[in-house]
Structure 1
Amino acid sequence: MTAAPGRRSSTFTRLLRHGFTDASAAERLLDSPELAPLRDDPVLLEALGATADPDLALLGLVRLLEAQQSPGARRELLDTLIAAKPLRDRLLGVLGASTALADHLTRHPDDWQALVMYEAYDLHPGVQEFEDGLAEATDPVSLRVAYRRCLLSIAARDVCGTTGLAESAAELADLATATLRAALALAEAAAPEDAEQCRLAVVAMGKCGGHELNYVSDVDVIFVGEATEGTDETKAVRAATRLASHMMRICSETTVEGSIWPVDANLRPEGRNGPLVRTLSSHLAYYQRWAKTWEFQALLKARPVAGDLDLGEEYVAAVQPLVWKAAERENFVPDVQKMRRRVVENIPVAEVDRQLKLGPGGLRDVEFAVQLLQLVHGRADTSLRSGTTLDALGALAAGGYVGRSDAAQLDDAYRFLRSMEHRIQLFRLRRTHLVPEDEADLRRIGRSLGLRTDPVADLHREWRRHAGVVRRLHEKLFYRPLLDAVAQLATGEARLSTEAARERMVALGYADPASALRHLEALASGVTRKAAIQRTLLPVLLGWFADSADPDAGLLNFRKVSDALGKTPWYLRLLRDEGAAAQNLARVLSAGRLAPDLLMRAPEAVALLGDGDGGGLDPRPRAHLEQETYAAVKRADGAAQAVTAARGVRRRELFRTAAADIVGSYGTEEQPAEADQGALVDMVGGAVSDLTAATLAGTLRAVVRDGWGDDLPTRFAVIGMGRFGGHELGYGSDADVLFVHEPCDGVDEREASQAANKVVSEMSRLLQIPSADPPLLIDADLRPEGKSGPLVRTLTSYAAYYRRWALTWESHALLRAEPVAGDADLGRRFIELIDPLRYPADGLADEAVREIRRLKARMESERLPRGADPKLHAKLGPGGLSDVEWTVQLMQLRHGSAVPGLRTTRTREALAAARAAGLITEEDAATLDEAWVLATRVRNAVMLVRGRAGDTFPSDPRELAAVGRYLGYGPGHVGDMLDAYRRTARRARGVMEELFYGAAER
């Protein structure tokens, strides 16, 4: 009795040393009668300790021994385990890696004998060997048993390291091929009359077609059918469809032995909506006329595997020429890249960090990058036309299309990630690409991959390292060889030929590849620090340029900025070290003319694009802008220089706002595009309005200082009107204003009036001095009596005019009045004066309502530019800005006195207040708001893209595409953008007609 604890303690320690985590349970299992002959065999513990999970392997072994149907069978298994190391390693390796295969062995206890043989054909089986292994299957259930038996041998070679990742994946594809053939044979045996009427080819796609299948995966196929001699084609296709459907059910259905795997035919023409089986001519007609880019990408891996192999080969031979012309399609690379982004965007947020396949730095990144390069360069180089990812990657490296060191790193990362995926799936034979969170699962996976010191921590470290390599090289693969080619780097690796480089630039969307390559050469050539850093940055920048509507402009503008700032130490350091700066710069430089033009006038504004303490892209508040503008004006010598200085502040801040707008619209890798487009509109409108107000305030101070020192004989205020007063200015909007003054105490009114008029005249003159900056025009036509009235009036004069002569349109215009510069108290008193006019206590008389409607109708008929498409005019067209604003303003005039929330100069705020007060339904308010935001964004987009204001979509295709990109529409979707605009405007027009032209009392 005293010896037992000592012996047990010694065994307990040995078990821990061999990797058991539950040594007490392992001791009990070792004491079981089934393991008595092996209890003291040190070889068993060594073999168990070599498995991925020794506890799991030991439990599986006991279960297998218990399942043996006789003592003789149990004795045979034990004797073989003791005598045959290969079997011992294989069997225990499988039991320690897969509970699913352990369950299979428990149900079929004789199948362990499938692991005994160790002959050459057993080490490297192909389709024929697997067909032999499935030959005895006579029904779906026995086919599943035979399939699992074959799978058992593949897994044994895999976990013991007898085969590598590529060989295991190829064996799994060969087993799938044999299984499809066996399933089709069963289907044909069940319906021999169908088999006689048709030729049916099964073409493998995806990983099966690429000879790189997972343990558990859908097997993607396409079916091609033809009539046998003397059979009607329609009848033959129906027969082939029945055979194909039966074959799919045999593989996919769940029985007492589980299922094999789903057969997925959704890669066929028209996907699940298309016929399951087509003739070869029908396939070709579809691909020649209707197929999308992704379908040709999928056909890279097409391979005949079952049925009529001659017909399958005809199919592949017929579609291959179309595959290798896919890169010539318009928007080819953007289409492929967009599809990859869509895959990532559809991953549930909770799964992104655990996704081995679809997440950033995952397997799909490798596969997409390789396939993209194959399709671009495989047109001329047939050595690249492999459906197997690793083989294709090797061919790309051998041909100089990918650097050898990059290819080696990518190959290593891909093998590691695929091996992880295999071990995860093998455990329960379930289709998953998620890295588990349970520590026991992670420990088993880590040990299975040879990580024994600290399996969990080591697995996480290696996984993240390889994913990081993939993510980095995914961006680099397409662009690095371009730089090596143009910079003539002595890398010791093959370089792209000039023609291959041009092909790649064209595929990326560059309209002038020769110029683009010259820019790359100028940026990347040489041995300077500047060239070295730019060679590091450009691969990623080129990708971002290619993601824009005008890659050529992006690259050209980057060269200009780099020429201007390249010798400035902080510039390249900013792009290299600041996470967001480089991507923000790429977005800004390729989004149109306005932002790059502003930047070229002040290249140091690049610093705003960083995400550190250098300022960032958040708009500055008005008080800050005024303070800075006043300081610049104070330092200037004379009013003209002062206004130039104020314009300098405006230029920089306009760039800040435009950059923030572009980045928010495009999004970044880390921050998706702004979901609330209204927030971007409000940001731009508020920022440009505040900046305009600060510029006018600075100009006013410069004029007063230059003419009167600080003693202007009259108080003076600028009142913002229209979009200016509403905080809704766009990049190209004029500033509507009123000027008001009030003589200082003891000053003659005539003297005060002369001074005020001189201030207005001088402000207008200075602001109209020609400049390369976007113009800032002040428009005072909304003043009393319009163009015929005086430019500036006293507060008393305004009061007298409005009391006696004010027209309905003037009350309407005053809804947007807000002080923006000058004497704050005078501005406040002006607002007190006009509030009764714009928010009349008794609402609006019917005659006034009719007058407003007449004015609106006249404006619609007279002011729309000749030749413009009314349905696409963002300001005056049906459902445009004017429709929404007049509808909202009519509600303000009617109900502003009773509803305080309506007393605002801002359209969206007033609309929200009207909805809250029940003056408009929530649905109608949402319709008007959506239309107003979209129309405003269209106007902003036109200014950003063209560098000059416009109210309708550009006619130039590239400019139109750039507007689309800003609005969230990728390449090839300009038509969708225009349709969406018309649809939104049409709905808004319907609401406007009901609310604005409807009943007089609403």
Structure 2
Amino acid sequence: MRQPLPLDLPVILRPLVVRNQQFLEEATAVHPGLDLQRLSAEQRRQFDQVAAASDFVMQQTQREPGMLLELLESGTLARAYAAGELRARITAIAQAAQSEDDLARSLRRERNRQQVRIIWRDITRQAALGETCRDLSDLADACIDQAYQWLYPRHCQQFGTPVGRRSGLAQHMVVLGMGKLGAGELNLSSDIDLIFAFPEGGETEGVKRPLDNQEFFTRLGQRLIKALDPVTVDGFVFRVDMRLRPYGSSGALVLSFNALEQYYQDQGRDWERYAMIKARVVAGDQAAGAQLQEMLRPFVYRRYLDFSAIEALRTMKQLIQQEVRRKGMADNIKLGAGGIREVEFIAQAFQLIHGGRDLSLQQRPLLKVLATLEGQGYLPGAVVAELRDGYEFLRYTEHAIQAIADRQTQMLPDDEQDRERVAYMLGFADWAQFHSQLMHWRGRIDWHFRQVIADPDEDEAEGELVVGGEWSPLWEQAQDEEAACRQLQEAGLRQPAEALRRLTGLRTSPSLRSMQRIGRERLDAFIPRLLAQAVEHDNPDLVLERVLPLVEAVARRSAYLVLLTENPGALRRLLTLCAASPWIAEQITRFPLLLDELLNEGRLFSPPLAPELASELRERLMRIPEDDLEQQMEALRHFKLAHSLRVAASEITGNLPLMKVSDYLTWLAEAILDQVLALAWRQTVARHGQPMGNDGALCDPGFIIVGYGKVGGIELGHGSDLDLVFIHDGDPNAETDGAKPIDSAQFFTRLGQRIIHLLTTQTNSGQLYDVDMRLRPSGASGLLVSSLGAFERYQQNEAWTWEHQALVRARVLVGCPQVGKAFEAVRAKVLGKARDLDTLRSEVSDMRAKMRASLGSKISAAGTAANAFDAGVPFDLKQDAGGIVDIEFMVQYAALAWSHDHPELLRWTDNIRLLEELQQAGLLPAADAELLREVYKAFRSASHRQALQKQAGVIDASQFIDERRQVQRIWAQLGL
């Protein structure tokens, strides 16, 4: 926000007010209809403020005093324009023009009128930065488009109507606004950067001598520029700059869509990607323009993490700095250090790097991009606040500089009077105070810019090696094998020859030998940094063993190497996680896009809570077109991979205890299932219409996904599959209401098939989950989706005891709340019925014995033989006697045995809270219940550790001896 204008004008500016009052009085004296006395005191005060600040407004007032008085008396200067009001004015003016000269003159006069209005409102604090930029951009849009609409039919009359050779359709030009115009951020005296295009080649029709479409639109583009750009006695509309087009000033003025696409695909340079971020269709054929921008989107936004963008932006900044130094432009608030361009570079660096995957970054206005960077966690809120406030101060300063004389400049004035004008317009008493604040903001912006863009080596003292430079000779094989091994050994490697063999194997691998030059240079810059950080670890041999396969996997996509080179913190976190877990190393090697997650340490080690997870995924999918199934599936998979990595990283570093790990993994699965169900529902309904429910209303969706096993018990681990059951409440006798109706059973079966397809299909990012549907009624031979009634009948009349045990851990994950409540009622009825305890004990015990025999450790008879506790004998944490499944079976037995009299046992599906309920109900001694809880958590923690080490859930039998004996004791006490 700007400070208010000082109450008193600086002494040096007071003569300007007196002079300009006299000019206005003299001008109005010869116009009898103009009476300054009609102005209010507030309007006279505002006149004094503007008179002190802007020569341009005063010059326009002297030329046409009636314009200013009309603006004041009509109230136009005291209000913001309504949406579309400005365009309506320009449209009426253009349509009234009788000739090209008349059009040019009318647009220039209106432009001057609007500039007066905009500058007046800006100086007098009636318009904030957003309104000023919006009005200027709307003015440019309207002038360009209405000039084009006026010229096009007259051009067609002269040269014929251009027709596409392939489509046979009449062609219109597309005008792309670039830079600040494209972003809706024009300044008070900005030029407009334009690119002209047309959809397809062909020639004109309706004239004797047809023109090629290229020639037609070239001539039309020239007429359009002439209508806007030249300075006449009436001034200009906008200065037009066409140098951003392909090949710049030497290129064709207008190109076809195909020619543009081919150019950017084959020859597009990094700075052109940067420029194209803000491209917007400002005039001509909007529909065709949208198609053009879709064609060019892959050039701008890469589908992978593109850290090479930083190199390009760094190079651009260096070129700008050289130009600034050469021309003595340190006082340029746009291009100088800490200037407007540096804020733009920061925002656009993130857009170019991440925008291909994070669609929320694919937007033009800088302040909105900064807000997104904060909201999505790319930059801390405090950083964004400083960048935003500093940027707004610079833009207000830019407007103040340009308001003086309508000159296109960002240079701080060297004239004392103009300096005081700028200070006054920014709300400061004098230049010194203003300049101090300006330098503060420039300093903060430059500091943040260096954190994002600066070369990681640029702070190295002159003559010193860059980071990891001591390892360059080894990597580049500039020393013999003995010296290389000695260097590795002295750095702490226990097997230096093996490490050297791995490095040599990487260097000479077939995939790396065929790398392009730029990729090889990036690899050569990265490996020394990798070695420098690896040797800082306790076990550098293990680090290299796990990380070098990842390097080989990503080397040909060298943007990932740039990511790690540019972000030493990300590399450090990568090595730490890979050293701790081969599972993580394998995940990142298979899916290098996960490297993105290493950039933000706070986000990596702080997984979001359930509502935030669901909201984040919903927002991601909302940005993808509904008909783009491929991108939706990739987004779901990337979301799962990224958050799974966050949870694993948090567990390894001790930030998350076991119970929270399972909570997060379960919340993640629920968020994904919720969106998968929504996608599958939309797709199935689009084809067949909605089914009818048993209540006679249309289902929406009348369907639930029930989780069993680990997901039902909120105990998911890394790599767990999902045990699911699908249930619907559709009317079996009714059909769907779509164009291709089917009965409800078919509909819900297809819905279930679609859900499984979305979950299990392998894409470039793997699959979401393995899905196990064998716990549905009648197992693999049963229907994929059961009606609620059929499910209840099966559970009451046909289900085995082990199926009721499984139902203890069943809960509704996502779907229709009404059907979910009905399912809970069925579950409570089935589990809460009275049972013969002897029969129940026998059936539970028999089932457990069968599982031990088939799944337990053979060498110890599933932990029941005499050697079950001997060192060197394996103990299966899950299946052997005294292990995880024994505890689960005891809890399930207790729920089935006693929930008839203690319905509170049915409230929970997880073992920990069920054990708490058994304790509170007095059904288990407190000591035993506490012991089972702690042992269960200890076993599961060990199982998680094994999973992260990519090892089976089997440990040495010498571990957990007392815990296993206690579990077996309680098992025996229950009579199992």
TM-score (norm 2): 0.43
Larger helix share, 1 or 2: 1
TM-score (norm 1): 0.42
